[in-house]
């Protein structure tokens, strides 16, 4: 029987090569499983029992980890157990481990007037303001993650077609689209910037982009915290509120599971209340 350490190594290689998981994800799984093995002090996979997992979860909870982080540890363990089952190695059935119920996530949402003020905030004609305007319009038009935006090269953008491919989480490629306003802001920026084809489109760090957005949010008089991820939320909710279906939004955001995208429906549900109020039971008045 292979040692647990060897099985873990083979599992991590399987994640990277066969499942195509990002190196960062594999490193996280390695860390989570290392924690479990250090706690469990077991010799063989068959020693992983429901009782052991229950004690481990208690240990994670008492280590003052927040619920999502606890769940990440449990997800890694479940994935490992599924891998063992796939190899017909006797251990605990992964289905016997349930994830902790999390409270519904709260999203920071910008209302449309805040969003318009933010996008209009870079007013100067300086190279920096022109660049910043292009970044803000790009975020709202495409729903890109900050890491995706920072990795874009000049020659990857097709302004004529108003679309381009982006490599997202797990190396998955998806197509994103530019609105007329984003195209115009980007064309203006590229005209002033110049540069060679394989150069970074926006040679900035994620941290400096976050600071830039914060600066314009304050200038626009927005009191809530505005980040690149808040602009990604704005992109998704704007599509749903204007009638896009959930599956299309999932593809445009690059979500692996539709359940991740469903969080946005809670916010468009507010519209349903208005629809109900306007149209339900009118004949009874």
Catalytic residue numbers read 145, 169, 229, 232, 255, 264
- The rounded distance, in Å, linking the Cα atoms of 156 and 139 is 16
Q: Which of 107, 53, 156 is nearest to 267 (CA)?
A: 107
CA dihedral 224, 206, 183, 137 (to 10 degrees): 0
E strands, the chain, where?
163-167, 173-177
Name residue, tokens 């808040």: 230
Handedness of CA 238, 240, 245, 249 (dihedral sign): positive
| Cβ-contact 191, 183 below 8 angstroms | no
- The rounded distance, in Å, linking the Cα atoms of 102 and 264 is 16
User: What is the widest separation between alpha-carbon atoms in the chain?
Assistant: 75
| Cβ-contact 45, 77 below 8 angstroms | no
Tell me how crowded residue 222 is: count the other CB atoms within 10 A of its CB. Answer: 20
- The SS3 call for residue 99 is coil
Q: Which of 232, 234, 215, 273 is nearest to 113 (CA)?
A: 234
Q: Residue 200: what are its φ and ψ, rounded to 5°?
A: -60, 140
| Cβ-contact 207, 163 below 8 angstroms | no
């Amino acid at each position: 029987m292979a040692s647990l350490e060897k099985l873990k190594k083979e599992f991590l290689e399987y994640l990277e090569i066969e499942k195509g998981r990002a190196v960062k994800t594999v490193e996280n799984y390695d860390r989570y499983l290392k924690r479990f093995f250090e706690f469990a002090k077991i010799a063989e996979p068959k020693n992983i029992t429901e009782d052991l997992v229950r004690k481990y979860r208690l240990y994670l909870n008492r280590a003052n980890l927040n619920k999502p982080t606890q769940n990440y540890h449990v997800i890694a363990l479940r994935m490992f157990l599924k891998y063992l089952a796939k190899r017909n190695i006797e251990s605990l059935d992964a289905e016997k481990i349930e994830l902790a119920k999390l409270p519904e996530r709260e999203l920071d949402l910008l209302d449309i007037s805040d969003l318009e003020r933010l996008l209009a905030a870079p007013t100067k004609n300086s190279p920096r303001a022109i660049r910043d305007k292009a970044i803000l319009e790009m975020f709202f038009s495409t729903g890109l993650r900050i890491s995706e935006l920072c990795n874009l090269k000049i020659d990857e953008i097709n302004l004529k077609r108003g679309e381009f491919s982006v490599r997202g989480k797990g190396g998955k490629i998806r197509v994103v689209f530019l609105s007329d306003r984003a195209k115009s802001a980007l064309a203006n920026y590229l005209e002033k910037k110049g540069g060679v084809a394989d150069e970074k489109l926006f040679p900035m760090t994620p941290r400096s982009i976050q600071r830039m957005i914060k600066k314009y949010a304050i200038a626009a008089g927005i009191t809530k915290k505005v980040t690149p991820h808040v602009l990604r939320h704005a992109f998704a909710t704007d599509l749903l509120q204007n009638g896009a279906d959930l599956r299309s939004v999932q593809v445009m955001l690059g979500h692996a599971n539709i359940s991740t995208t469903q969080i946005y429906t809670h916010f468009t549900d507010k519209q349903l209340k208005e629809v109900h109020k306007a149209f339900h039971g009118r004949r009874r008045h």
